[in-house]
Structure 1
Amino acid sequence: MADEWKASAAADGDEKSWRLLEKTLLAGVQEQRRSRRWGIFFKLLTFIYIFAALALFSPMLAMKKGATTGSHTALIEVRGMIADQEAASADNIVSSLRAAFEDANTKGVILRINSPGGSPVQSGYIYDEIRRLRAEYPAIKLYAVITDLGASGAYYIASAADQIYADKASLVGSIGVTAATFGFVGVMEKLGVDRRVYTSGEHKAFLDPFQPQKAEETEFWQGVLKTTHQQFIASVKQGRGERLKDAEHPELFSGLVWSGEQALPLGLIDALGNTSYVAREVIGEKELVDFTVQESPFDRFAKTIGASMAERIALWMGFQGAVLR
């Protein structure tokens, strides 16, 4: 009888222990869920606050930039690569130019350039628009001011200006066209890898770096580059006119660059000077108003965090889904 009682008591103790353990585990799970919900709530609150602040300041910045109340010199920045979807894209620069010229208080326009160049198409769009606006608004002069670098497509744009200024140490020129790639044929042969390309045109894959070059295709591509180079040269000659000393210096179109001091006697620039000097002494209006079209803070924030960071944030907030790569 005593043995049965002991066994029953032991069973009751084990059951109570399991119930206590179960309650403890459930309490832990509930606490984790509660913590996760609060975590998601505060993260959502943080991002709502950030986006609200960006939405609030974006229109304020837009109102401030380009807002004028009196006579001024309009300033437009050309920074970095000249390419589609970049800060110095044709869309952005052309929009800035139009806004500057259309402002009744604009006394002159300065295009401040610090760029290695970029797309000949984007540069050509900007060049053509500068010449169109100069013809439409003959009373408003446009001056290009090269700071550190005004090369290739950037000089293409500058040559459309009424005058070009630069610092004595600025790098100017690089009137040429380049296209570069790599050849991996030898590496593939060493690795024993075969390249299989299926096309419906004889030369459809003529720039494929994994196939040997063909003489006729190389010659064809060189012709494309030469044609683009000739277009570049013609535009620079049209913009600079007799100021350009190309007859005495045919090397101007070889792709070389010169310092501002060297560029002056070659006719690549008109004088040495910076933005303040041109606004004050040339245009006669030292008040500068920036008309540069810029990305909104939200766009810059989105680009900064990038796709991978956005994915990580989504995971932090408890969201998961398909990702296309």
Structure 2
Amino acid sequence: MKYQHVLSAFAAEPWAMERSKLSVIADFLAFKAAGGEVAADEMAARITKKQDGEIARREGAVAVIPIHGVLAPKMDMMTEISGGTSYMGIQRALHAALADEDVKAVVLDIDSPGGAVPGAQELGDEIRALRGGDKPIIAQVNHLAASAAYWIASQADEVVVSPSARAGSIGVYTVHEDISAALEKAGVKRTYISAGDFKTEGNETEPLSEDALAFIEERVSRSYGRFVAAVAEGRGVSTAKVEKDYGQGRVFFAEELVEKGMADRIGTLGETLARFGANQSPEPIRKLRAANSQRAEDASVDTVLLAKVEAALGIS
């Protein structure tokens, strides 16, 4: 039954995450709560992925910090389940990169559906406090920055989105799950014994009262207000513009993000690194790409010239 406690605590947490991803994690916890087992090698693979997410790498003079998977304040069971990244780990990597004399720029390589609200504001505030220096902090959406991940991205010096990337999902939500029927079916009768009028308020063994619902709604609204204010500060716009134009929970594609002012430019991670002198492509690949680009440009010029000649000769 221990995972039912975990499931209840998970459900009650305020989340800034894509709902589809949250549903997957909730389903996994429900599977465990029902007695399901995960093979040791599968869990080991998840944990390895989680640990990899904490490790920054160098590309020339650019420090690349992976921000992948579900985001959480610390490395815990949630990040083991999701293969996510911790806010604390991101901050440590950022501090190390900025303190490294050989690093000239920092790229946050983001591919995340978001995560927990606790910790997102602190990391976002820290990124905003450190930007604007000699070492630019670039948020590279590669290929998803939803909810808490966009909260973080919006605080960087610049937001770059890959051509097929998506970002946004500015919103906060939580859920309450009444599992009393499931407990009854399992033959379990749980009784909470507490002191304090609201100590067991919103527990999972009974319906949510109107008073408890109002209290939780106020908590969610407060977190949402902080999210909107942080994005507005990070992007240099008003909170009214964020509310009006930034989707209120919707996710947008690259072109829309630039049009709305949620991102600064479209470009791949490789192109972003190349801007700061860290070209990942081998020399033969760069030569081939340049040659093909030149051929395409020449063909375009030839087409225009041919059209002009045909027009002059009256050829249709």
Q: Does the TM-score normalized on the shorter chain lie above 0.5?
A: yes
Give RMSD over aligned pairs.
Answer: 2.8
Q: Which amino acid aligns with 2:229?
A: A
> What per-residue deviation string (whole Å, max 9, x for no partner) do you get for residues 104-143 of structure 1?
12221111101111122222222122123225xx111111
Identity of aligned residues (%): 28
Q: Which residue pairs with 2:158 in the alignment?
A: 163
Q: CA deviation at 1:172?
A: 0.4
Q: Secondary structure at the match of 1:106?
A: coil
User: Structure 1: which amino acid aligns with 2:169?
Assistant: S
Partners of 2:113 and 2:71 in 1: CA distance: 8
Name the residue aligned to 1:72.
61
Task: State the match for 2:303 in structure 1.
Answer: none
Cα offset for 1:259? 1.4
In structure 1, how many angstroms separate the alpha carbons of the residues matched to 2:126 and 2:245? 28
Structure 1 position 113 matched with structure 2 position 105: no
After superposition, the Cα gap between the structure-2 partners of 1:106 and 1:131, relative to the gap in structure 1 and judged at 3 Å, is same
Per the TM alignment, residue 185 of structure 1 is displaced from its structure 2 partner at its CA by: 4.2
Deviation string 1:192-219 (CA, Å, 9 cap, x unpaired) is 9754221101111112121121101100
Distance 2:200 2:134 in 1: 51
Which residue of the partner structure matches residue 26 of structure 1? none
2:228–2:243 CA contact under 8 A, matched in 1: no
1:255: which partner in 2?
249
Which has the bigger relative contact order, CA under 8 A and spacing at least 6? Answer: 1
Counterpart of 2:22 in structure 1 is none
CA distance in 1, matches of 2:178, 2:245: 30
The residue that corresponds to 1:122 in the other structure is 119
Candidates 274, 278, 287, aligned match of 1:286: 278
CA contact (8 A) 2:172 2:220 kept: yes
TM-score normalised by length of structure 2: 0.62
Residue 209 (structure 2) pairs with residue 209 (structure 1):
no
Q: CA offset at residue 225 of structure 1?
A: 0.6
Q: Following the alignment from structure 1 to structure 2, what is the Cα–Cα distance between the partners of residues 264 and 181?
A: 36
Change over 3 Å in CA distance of 1:182–1:248 after alignment to 2: closer
Contact kept, 8 Å, 1:76 with 1:112, in 2: the verdict is: yes
How far apart, in 1, do the equivalents of 2:242 and 2:180 lie? 44
**Aligned counterpart, 1:150:** 145
Matching residue's letter, 1:274? T
Larger of the two Rg values belongs to structure? 1
Aligned partner of residue 118 in structure 1, secondary structure: strand
Aligned residue in 2 for 1:100:
97
Count of residues in correspondence between the two structures: 219
**Structure 1 contact 249–266 (Cα < 8 Å) conserved:** no
Q: 1:89 aligns with which of 75, 86, 93?
A: 86
Change (3 A) 1:172 1:99: same
Deviation of 1:190 (Å): 7.8
SS at match of 1:121: coil
In 2, are the aligned partners of 1:175 and 1:232 still within 8 Å (CA)? yes
Task: For residue 249 of structure 1, report the CA deviation from its aligned partner.
Answer: 6.3
**Cα pair distance change 1:280/1:201, threshold 3 Å:** same
- CA shift for structure 1 position 246: 5.4
Distance 1:167 1:208, change over 3 A: same
Amino acid at match of 1:96: A
Distance 2:201 2:253 in 1: 38
Which whole-Å CA distance do the structure 1 matches of 2:127 and 2:265 have between them? 20
Q: Which moved more, 1:253-262 or 1:143-152?
A: 253-262
Contact 2:57 2:65 in 1 (8 A): no
